[in-house]
Amino acid sequence: AQTVTQSQPEMSVQEAETVTLSCTYDTSENNYYLFWYKQPPSRQMILVIRQEAYKQQNATENRFSVNFQKAAKSFSLKISDSQLGDTAMYFCAFMKHTGTASKLTFGTGTRLQVTL
Amino acid sequence: GAVVSQHPSRVICKSGTSVKIECRSLDFQATTMFWYRQFPKQSLMLMATSNEGSKATYEQGVEKDKFLINHASLTLSTLTVTSAHPEDSSFYICSACPSADREFTKNIQYFGAGTRLSVL
């Protein structure tokens, strides 16, 4: 079974600053996907970024980037130029790579507060 | 694109009644949908995997007779909470994965906005 650990229950960052959210995972799988999802106060889950384990290059999406360390089983999210709208719960998630859709295993989440 | 609609967004019911929640993929077909439950300030816990045209796969500890899932078409899955009790009060979220032949990547789950169930 896979496990996902987010060791930072809450974090705070000032607007325009950079923040990094940590995530580690445990798996015996070699092929898998990792995700960061954002859940704002509306509770709508929004995909932030996705990483395929077989790709060494770190994924980036505008102000969001990841530091994927496969050997260390680490998958941190960096948010640059933080904006007030980034305030949300952030969940790290793991998915096995199978031929069909596979379930997500979520971490416990990090609550990020962006302040003025 | 990749919009998932979940209805209703909020439901309040009396103990003993049944409640149906719908999850629709609006602009793509989804062979597989997932149902999650989220307690306040906690993470999402998978309840079951819903497969079009076949029986759902339930996670350990989830009562299949309590939480009935029907995935009758490639765009609709329903979750029925039967004989609801106060302990079933929670936030229920569905997600859908586009089928392989869509432009969207099939391994991404797109989420509905959730349903807040309150059982009195």
pLDDT of B104 higher than 70: no
Phi then psi for residue A31, to 5 deg, are: -110, 120
- pLDDT value of residue B52: 86
- pLDDT value of residue B105: 66
Q: What percent of chain B lies above the pLDDT cut of 70? A: 93
Considering only CB atoms, which chain A residues are within 8 Å of B108? Answer: 35, 47, 50
Nearest-by-Cβ selection for A101 from B46, B106, B113: B106
- pLDDT value of residue A37: 97
Total Cβ atoms within 10 A of residue A62:
9
Distance CA A107, CA A65 (A): 18
Please indicate if any CB of chain A lies within 8 Å of the CB of B111: yes
DSSP structure class, residue A24: E
Considering only CB atoms, which chain A residues are within 8 Å of B74? Answer: none
Please indicate if any CB of chain A lies within 8 Å of the CB of B29: no
Total Cβ atoms within 10 A of residue A63:
14
pLDDT in tens, B27-43: 888 889 999 999 988 99
For residues B88-108, give the mean pLDDT.
80
Q: Cβ A103–B31 below 8 Å, yes or no?
A: no
For residues B83-107, give the mean pLDDT.
83
Nearest-by-Cβ selection for B111 from A45, A97, A108: A45
Two tokens, residue B84? 């609801």
Question: B109 in the Ramachandran plot: left (φ > 0), alpha (ψ -120 to 50) or beta?
Answer: beta
Considering only CB atoms, which chain B residues are within 8 Å of A50? Answer: 105, 108
Q: Per-residue confidence at B101, pLDDT binned at 50, 70, 90?
A: low
- pLDDT value of residue B99: 77
Q: Per-residue confidence at B2, pLDDT binned at 50, 70, 90?
A: confident
Which has more confidence, A33 or B107?
A: A33
Q: Are A14 and A115 a contacting pair, CB within 8 Å?
A: yes
- pLDDT value of residue B43: 92
- pLDDT value of residue B106: 61
- pLDDT value of residue B97: 87
Tens of pLDDT, residue by residue, chain A (116 residues) = 889 999 999 999 999 999 999 999 999 998 999 999 999 999 999 999 999 999 889 999 999 999 999 999 999 999 999 999 999 999 999 999 876 778 999 999 999 999 99
Q: Cβ B46–A104 below 8 Å, yes or no?
A: yes
Please indicate if any CB of chain B lies within 8 Å of the CB of A107: yes
Write the single-letter amino acid at A96. Answer: K
Please indicate if any CB of chain B lies within 8 Å of the CB of A33: yes
Considering only CB atoms, which chain B residues are within 8 Å of A29? Answer: none
Q: Cβ A107–B109 below 8 Å, yes or no?
A: no
Beta bridge partners of B20: B80
pLDDT in tens, B4-21: 999 999 999 999 999 999
Q: Cβ A95–B43 below 8 Å, yes or no?
A: no
Q: Cβ B32–A100 below 8 Å, yes or no?
A: yes
- pLDDT value of residue B102: 55
For residue A115, give how far its alpha carbon lies from the nearest alpha carbon of chain B (Å): 21
